[in-house]
């Protein structure tokens, strides 16, 4: 077991998904000066660069992704959605719908993004690696079965969960989503499915604007198997660790998954332009260690982390470095130069109004596994 490395998925084409023609997240135009889309390659490319510069990527098991097939994608998406995206892309549409930009080749790259997770799962299943980090792009967690949304074309994590079940034989999957935005797509896809536990920690009503409430717990056979922890803006280390320790991890302990996924966004980071939370690299590392401890107790350490949002190109690389160091049990000699600035922000400790929100979320745990 000790010989097993952490797998690392990367492909240059992930950086070629072209979101130009937008400013922040809207199409540029006569009243909006052209600038950059916030979901551009910079933050993710700089993650790869720091992993290389630190020497960490050389100590990981490199995984070359394959493209998800139509069959792979339609385990989580309707065939209409997959076909629509392909046709729109061929016709030169700039958007797949609901603020999900398309550039030339984006359909193919989105297939490669989802496929990166599948390739990582193959390596976990075969025993080649103990766990994996997929540095993929475009992200996935807002995409629903029949629609793209919020920079996401296909729901990479959902496609991977279905593949893990249908092809690799894993029965129960737990997905923790700590991207700062609500994992609405993952929630919707597994809404009535008790075999996939979805837990989203997000900033209360950040995006989508009317989504991610505590009382949204799944329906039908899946009732009780979707948890939301909408944290107030201004949440830091104390709130996030409490949400994990009091809601997400106890829920997963009860669920007893065969595999744990983390939809690993970094936009709850202290300097992110798209949200108002305050996490530091060390907190991302602590969160990873907690989930890893749970995974080692419940499912022999089988974990797949995949990159979602995170838009502050200067700091995101240090967050990802800490997460992957923790995952791989390797510390590089790189210190996060922004750590002190993030930790010094007021309100990093758990605040009473955050506790009140987390208290409410804990009442939904009891239904799991009973
Ligand atoms: Zn996000």
User: Any idea which residues carry the catalytic annotation?
Assistant: 142
Neighbours of ion ligand 1 (CB under 5 A): 179, 181, 265, 267, 309
Q: What confidence score (pLDDT) does residue 34 get?
A: 97
**Contacting residues for 359 by C-beta, under 8 A, at least 6 apart:** none
Confidence of residue 370 (pLDDT cuts 50, 70, 90): low
- Residue 199 CA to ligand 1 center (angstroms) comes to 15
Percentage with pLDDT > 90 across the chain: 98
pLDDT, mean of residues 193-204: 98
Contact in structure between 306 and 263 (CB atoms under 8 Å):
yes
Mean pLDDT of 197-204: 98
Using 50, 70 and 90 to split pLDDT, how confident is the model at 82? very high
Task: Please tell me the CATH superfamily of domain 5-367, with its number.
Answer: Histone deacetylase domain (3.40.800.20)
**Per residue in 227-276, pLDDT tens?**
999 999 999 999 999 999 999 999 999 999 999 999 999 999 999 999 99
Cα 313 to Cα 49, 101, 156, 286, 317, distances in angstroms? 12, 19, 22, 21, 7
CA of 182 to the centre of ligand 1 (A): 7
Comparing CA positions, the residue from 174, 357, 340 lying closest to residue 256 is: 174
Residue 366, pLDDT score: 87
Distance from residue 328's CA to the centre of ligand 1 (Å): 24
Nearest 5 degrees, angle CA 29-CA 184-CA 13?
60
User: 196 CA distance to ligand 1 centroid (A)?
Assistant: 21
The pLDDT confidence band at residue 12, using thresholds 50, 70 and 90, is: very high
Q: Is the sign of the CA dihedral 218, 99, 156, 207 positive or negative?
A: negative
**pLDDT level of residue 3 (50, 70, 90 thresholds):** confident
Query: What is the predicted pLDDT for the residue at 361?
Result: 96
Strands 26-27, 22-23: pairing kind: antiparallel
Burial class (CB in 10 A: 0-12, 13-18, 19+), 90: exposed
d(CA 155, CA 152): 7
Q: Is the pLDDT of residue 83 over 80?
A: yes
pLDDT at position 1, please?
45
Q: Distance, CA 148 to ligand 1 centroid (Å)? A: 14
Instruction: Please tell me the distance from the alpha carbon of residue 139 to that of residue 331, in angstroms, as a whole number.
Output: 27
Distance between CA atoms of 311 and 365, rounded to whole angstroms? 32
- 260 C-alpha vs ligand 1 centroid, how far in Å? 20
Beta bridge partners of 32: 29
Q: Note whether 309 and 248 are within 8 A (CB).
A: no
Q: What is the mean predicted confidence (pLDDT) over 321-331?
A: 98
pLDDT for residue 46 is more than 60: yes
Name the band, by pLDDT with cuts 50, 70 and 90, for residue 183. very high
For the chain, the structural domain boundaries read 5-367
CA distance 354 to 241: 11
Of 138, 64, 143, which is closest to residue 307 (Cα–Cα)? 138
CA of 308 to the centre of ligand 1 (A): 7
- What pLDDT does residue 367 have? 83
How many A from CA of 231 to the centre of ligand 1?
14
């Amino acid at each position: 077991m000790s010989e097993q490395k952490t797998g690392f998925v990367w492909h240059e084409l992930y950086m070629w998904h072209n979101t130009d023609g937008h400013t922040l997240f809207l199409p540029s135009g006569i009243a909006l000066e052209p600038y950059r889309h916030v979901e551009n390659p910079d933050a993710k490319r700089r993650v790869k660069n720091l992993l290389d510069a630190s020497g960490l990527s050389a100590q990981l098991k490199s995984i070359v992704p394959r493209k998800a097939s139509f069959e792979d994608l339609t385990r989580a998406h309707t065939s209409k959605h997959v076909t629509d995206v392909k046709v729109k892309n061929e016709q030169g549409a700039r958007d797949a719908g609901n603020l999900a930009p398309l550039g030339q080749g984006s359909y193919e790259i989105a297939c490669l993004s989802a496929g990166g997770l599948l390739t990582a799962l193959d390596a976990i299943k075969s025993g080649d690696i103990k766990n994996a980090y997929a540095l993929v792009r475009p992200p996935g967690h807002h995409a629903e079965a029949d629609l793209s949304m919020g920079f996401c074309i296909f729901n990479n994590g959902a496609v991977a969960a279905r593949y893990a079940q249908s092809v690799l034989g894993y029965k129960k999957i737990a997905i923790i989503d700590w991207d700062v935005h609500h994992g609405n797509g993952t929630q919707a896809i597994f809404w009535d499915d008790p075999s996939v536990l979805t837990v989203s920690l997000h900033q209360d009503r950040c995006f989508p604007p009317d989504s991610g409430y505590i009382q949204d717990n799944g329906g039908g056979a899946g009732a009780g198997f979707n948890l939301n922890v909408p944290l107030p803006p201004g949440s830091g280390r104390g709130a996030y660790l409490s949400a994990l320790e009091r809601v997400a991890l106890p829920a997963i302990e009860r669920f007893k998954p065969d595999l744990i996924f983390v939809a690993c966004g970094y936009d709850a980071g202290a300097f992110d332009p798209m949200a108002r939370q305050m996490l530091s690299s060390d907190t991302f590392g602590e969160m990873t260690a907690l989930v890893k401890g749970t995974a080692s107790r419940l499912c022999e350490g089988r974990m797949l982390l995949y990159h979602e949002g995170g838009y502050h190109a200067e700091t995101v690389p240090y967050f990802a470095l800490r997460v992957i160091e923790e995952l791989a049990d390797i510390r590089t000699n790189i210190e996060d130069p922004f750590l002190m600035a993030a930790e010094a922000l007021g309100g990093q400790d758990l605040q009473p109004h955050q506790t009140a929100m987390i208290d409410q979320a804990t009442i939904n745990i009891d239904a799991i596994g009973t």
